Amino acid sequence: MSENLLMELNGVAKSFRSADGAPRLILDNVDFSLAKGEIVALLGKSGSGKSTLLRIMAGLIASDAGKAMYRGKDICGPALGVAMVFQSFALFPWLTVQQNVELGLEAQGIPPAEREMRADAMLELMGLAGFGGALPRELSGGMRQRVGIARALVTNPDVLLMDEAFSALDVLTGETLRNDILELWDSNRIPTRGILIVSHNIEEAVMMADRIVILSSEPGRIRNEVKIELPRPRAVDSIEVRGLIDDVYGLMTMRAIQEVRSGAVPVTHVDYRLPETDVSRIEGILDLLAYAPFNGKADLPQLSEEAELSDEELFPTYEALGLLALAHIDKGDISLTPLGLRYAEAEKTVRQDIFGQQLLTQVPLAARIRQQLEQEPTGTLPEEPFIELLEEFLKADEAKRVLEIAVEWGRYGEVYEYDFHTGRLKLPDQEEK
């Protein structure tokens, strides 16, 4: 391991048992390193294994395969020098702020007087002077997370791992805290030599990190890296930052679709998944995109802003538009296809026709449901076999959810019907056999 590296993962894999006892591969063959002086942001969809990876690095869980090292030594159990901040604050409610912060030091056997002194200094540094005697519930979310961070930093960690440390906070509070940490880091007021942040928020990653690493899903693998060489503090509205956000955006949305199309991912893995979005949102975004100021083509973050929704909330919708071939997504841009433009101008029944046709040609799950219904003399089938099919690679609740989406889309496109009383799928009425 090079002198310059703080942490190194080679070929790390991890499986968990799903509800039915079968192992599910969450992380596969992950190579990753954190060098001295670096802030790295790890991005990936929900469930891609980001927290799992962080917990392996923190020594909270062991990997099944591969090597995980901290300063050249195998990680086995929490290492002195590696501290973690959790999204949920994870404070002890019955302990005061001061006691919560001192906890990590206690575990290291540091005598009470020194503990108190260091905790005081850290509370001061984190803007919590005077709150040592308070209980966590007496503090706001932002202050509680400051306590969580103070508790991690008070041990003078060499490596700081932050799992969505800002995402439970409102935007402004998150931003302030983020900036405070960057300031401590950039002015060398903390001895920490490397920071890894897990985030859902592309802007946050671009504003903070020296390098962004994107984890793919099912199983999680590192699939892209983006280096950021802009000095901090960075201006959120600068051309450079907006451009980077676009790039990362594009890497995150389009890849999943391309992977399916190119067959890079085994079909059974992703084929039947559907993005978590509904018809009205798909159409809402399509309409927004079709007319001024966008006129068919937009920068994804701008479109999100215009829609007054977060990127995160809109990812699945963009994915759906791409999946249905109504839009084309390239890097951070989205543009309507000729079909998408026609769709935008069409009245409802024509829209439904196009939607149905796209379902049958582009969405394997919908096509499969339709095909099997056509093979039935009665034109109806219970939903269970389809849920079971999905459960082969999805968790039970995810499988149900995917079928619900397929039902909603299919009903709108008049590809099949669903009886909510009996839970049966059937061919649309006029087509019944």
Ligand X SMILES: Nc1ncnc2c1ncn2[C@@H]1O[C@H](COP(=O)(O)OP(=O)(O)OP(=O)(O)O)[C@@H](O)[C@H]1O
Does 213 interact with ligand X (rule: CB under 6 A)?
A: no
Q: In one letter, which amino acid is 319?
A: E
Does 63 interact with ligand X (rule: CB under 6 A)?
A: no
Q: In one letter, which amino acid is 284?
A: G
CA distance 361 to 57: 43
Does 50 interact with ligand X (rule: CB under 6 A)?
A: yes
Quote the least distance from Cβ 101 to Mg ion, whole Å.
Answer: 24
And the tokens for 18? Answer: 């799903």
Cα 210–chain centre separation: 19
Quote the least distance from Cβ 397 to ligand X, whole Å.
Answer: 10
H-only helix segments in 14-69: 50-57
User: Which positions from 15 to 44 touch ligand X by CB under 6 A, shown as an x/- string?
Assistant: -x---------x-----------------x
Quote the least distance from Cβ 56 to Mg ion, whole Å.
Answer: 13
CA distance 40 to 50: 13
Does 199 interact with ligand X (rule: CB under 6 A)?
A: no
Closest CB to ligand X among residues 50, 151: 50
Does 49 interact with ligand X (rule: CB under 6 A)?
A: yes
Binding-site size, ligand X (CB under 6 A) = 10
| Helix H or strand E encompassing 77 | none
Of positions 51, 100, 155, 199, contacts ligand X by CB under 6 A: 51
Question: At CA 351, angle to CA 424 and CA 367, rounded to 5?
Answer: 40
CA dist 327 to 67, 129, 311, 324, Å? 42, 52, 17, 8
CA distance 19 to 253: 29
SS3 298: strand
Residue 92 touches which member of Mg ion, ligand X, none, C-beta under 5-8 Å by kind: none
Q: What is the DSSP letter of 337?
A: -
DSSP secondary structure string, 288-325?
HHHSTTTTTEEEHHHHHHHHTS-HHHHHHHHHHHHHTT
Does 217 interact with Mg ion (rule: CB under 5 A)?
A: no
Q: Can you name the residues that pair with 204 across neighbouring β-strands?
A: none
Closest CB to Mg ion among residues 87, 98: 87
Quote the least distance from Cβ 223 to Mg ion, whole Å.
Answer: 18
Closest CB to Mg ion among residues 87, 253: 87
Cβ atoms of 423 and 383 within 8 Å: the answer is yes
Q: Which stretch binds ligand X (CB under 6 A): 47-55, 96-104, 105-113, 359-367?
A: 47-55
Query: Binders of Mg ion among 46-75, rule CB under 5 A?
Result: 51
CA distance 359 to 191: 55
User: Which positions from 76 to 115 touch ligand X by CB under 6 A, shown as an x/- string?
Assistant: ----------------------------------------
DSSP secondary structure string, 135-185?
-GGGS-HHHHHHHHHHHHHTT--SEEEEESTTTTS-HHHHHHHHHHHHHHH
CA dist 127 to 115, 122, 131, 184, 334, Å? 18, 9, 9, 12, 42
Query: Binders of Mg ion among 368-427, rule CB under 5 A?
Result: none
Quote the least distance from Cβ 294 to ligand X, whole Å.
Answer: 30
Quote the least distance from Cβ 333 to Mg ion, whole Å.
Answer: 29
Of positions 33, 48, 98, 145, contacts ligand X by CB under 6 A: 48
Quote the least distance from Cβ 49 to Mg ion, whole Å.
Answer: 8
Residue 48 touches which member of Mg ion, ligand X, none, C-beta under 5-8 Å by kind: ligand X
Q: What is the dihedral of CA 263, 264, 270, 275, to 10 degrees?
A: -90
Query: Which of 187, 72, 189 minimizes the C-alpha distance to 122?
Result: 189
Residue 316 touches which member of ligand X, Mg ion, none, C-beta under 5-8 Å by kind: none
Cβ atoms of 206 and 241 within 8 Å: the answer is yes
Quote the least distance from Cβ 164 to ligand X, whole Å.
Answer: 7
Quote the least distance from Cβ 5 to Mg ion, whole Å.
Answer: 24
Quote the least distance from Cβ 406 to ligand X, whole Å.
Answer: 20
Does 47 interact with ligand X (rule: CB under 6 A)?
A: yes
Closest CB to ligand X among residues 51, 358: 51
Residues near Mg ion (CB under 5 A) are: 51
Residues near ligand X (CB under 6 A) are: 16, 26, 44, 46-52
